[in-house]
Amino acid sequence: MKIMVGGTFSPLHDGHKKLLSRSFELAGDDGHVIIGLSTDQFAGDKNHPIAPYEKRKEILTTFIQDSGYSATWNVIPLEDRYGATLDTDFDALVVSEETFPVSLEINRLRKERGRKKVDIHQITCVLADDGRWISSTRIYRGEIDDHGRVIR
């Protein structure tokens, strides 16, 4: 199965790791995962500092290699909210609760372009110890660490 997933992944936290793990799980042993990584320009819209693209790619690559996934994979630049999803042939898109609405837009736009709809797999966001979502913004603000532990 060919899977697409995307994000900024800065910092790479447990929510991101769940998203990536689900992508590789769906791909299966003989599948392929395409990871869209936000470019520095696209990520510049965030409300907190973002590590440079090459550094984020290095951290992402290390996580994937250390996880021992059997599916093949590659990282491509994600320059806007849709990336390569509108024109690439693939089977499923893995998204979080936060990005689910974009996945619906992707299928609508694919249909308009005469492309087949793709399956959408939504993961639930990972909760921090305080019961709120783990997010890069919260980590940057010093509220939680990348595992969702509250920082006092």
Q: Which domains does the chain have, with CATH numbers?
A: 2-125 (3.40.50.620)
Strands 119-123 and 2-7, how do they pair? unpaired
One-letter amino acid of 100: F
Provide the β-strand partners of residue 38: 78
Whole-model pTM: value is 0.94
Structure tokens at 61: 């690559």
84-136 tens-digit pLDDT = 999 999 999 999 999 999 999 999 999 999 999 999 999 999 999 999 999 99
Quote the DSSP letter at residue 33: E
26-58 tens-digit pLDDT = 999 999 999 999 999 998 876 778 999 999 999
Structure tokens at 38: 């936000």
* pLDDT tops 90 at residue 15: yes
Phi-psi region of 105 (alpha: psi -120 to 50; beta: other; left: phi over 0): alpha
Quote the DSSP letter at residue 81: S
